[in-house]
A = this chain, B = another copy of it.
């Protein structure tokens, strides 16, 4: 079928985008991210810079992306503003050097903030699709993210039509965009498997100024391998959840799971998959990684709602090869819906996310190393945690060969407050903070979760903090971080030096 839209090369498409414009790109993780046009835009930026002209754009996405988007544009120094999340090393460096303005945002609020006008005008939507109809129906590829919103809000649209993704993905997406207040109604999802919207995005065809044909694989990277530490964390989470079910605090049908990204999340899912005490479960989450595919295959996971299929080429081939099976078991939703507080609270999600550090009050740092250096961003962890039936944060008890303790007196940056953090898990154990006051929380976090090398110095910190509802010392709260900056090691701190 011939399409009524101009066929462009990526370079021709990039030529249309002007300095200072804001672009909403597809991509939630490298899954479904635009690839050819941002890479060509990076080349254009380099040419412009060589010619002595300014060229920078504002980059909005679903979440992180791949090397052809964040990577290439960062290397070309072509990004002025970036939101809501990223994970690229070059871009991270520019953000932390103050060269790129980065706003770290809850992923579920990004689309509404764009609609409300809080992020200014969006000039372009640059979106990957696996199919398109002459009337302006767009079948997205391996993620939805915020693409549906960008397609609707943007002045003009460029489509990367990617032959690598089978057009039989049609039907895996469920596109639903709520009205804005005061007209908004309920989001009618009552179970992870409920479909409430359309399989395609429908846009004003006149806005589509060109189609760029590509055949590029998603630039998904390998996650770190499991280790004895991540396996132990996974096992601790699985045993805790089984015990909660036995105690009647989780219903016998179990509850839908949300799981973060990375090797800890994989280890947790692996352990839950193997558990003989936990019944088959649903997932309501934002990213589906390789580890879920065998669980969907063997029936341990009965359904997975997500906004991104972040699969290795091998796992993606498996899903594509039996697409009708997986379309009955996977739905890709907009991130506004996959992470929506209304649904998270309604269906009673058990949220499982990763912390950079946890402090003795039960506050979690998800974003900043030593309080200053942005890692990736808060992502969806706040959307899920804040509204979960049960919120779990896990991390290895130490980092950098033991030189950094993940359990610290005071978090150097706080993304999740004590009011929303219920369970903390490391390879050493589980701290159940529910119904505990701050002093009890501090003790249980030290004794259950801290690495043994750090327990005595953390107990010393508690002894040094004078009475008060929260065991905080204004002078010593961040002293372990200062010791690391000074000496390269948090261990063996001399508290007196910092008083």
Contact = CB atoms under 8 A, between A and B. Distances in A.
Given A106-B419, A181-B251, A346-B185, A474 B469 contact: no
Interface string A465-498: 1111110101101100110010000000000000
A346 B186 contact: yes
Contact of A342 (B97, B341, B469, B482): B341
Contact of A437 (B101, B342, B348): B101
Interface string A371-383: 1111000100010
A413 B348 CA distance: 29
Interface in A420-455: 420, 422, 434-437, 439-440
Interface residues of A, number: 83
A52 interface: no
A294 interface: no
A223 interface: no
Give chain A's interface secondary structure class. loop
B346 A345 contact: no
A96 interface: yes
A102 B418 CA distance: 13
Interface stretch (A115-123, A226-234, A272-280): A115-123
A477 B372 CA distance: 11
Query: How many chain copies?
Result: 2
A465 B371 CA distance: 12
Contacts of A370: 474
A321 interface: no
B468 A373 contact: yes
B389 A474 contact: no
Given A419-B106, A437-B101, A363 B414 contact: yes
B342 A435 contact: no
Q: Which of A341, A437, A466 has the most CB of B within 10 A?
A: A437
A72 interface: no
Complex A-B, nearest 9 residue pairs according to Cβ-Cβ distance, in ascending order: A181-B348, A372-B468, A374-B469, A186-B186, A342-B342, A101-B437, A414-B414, A371-B472, A118-B434
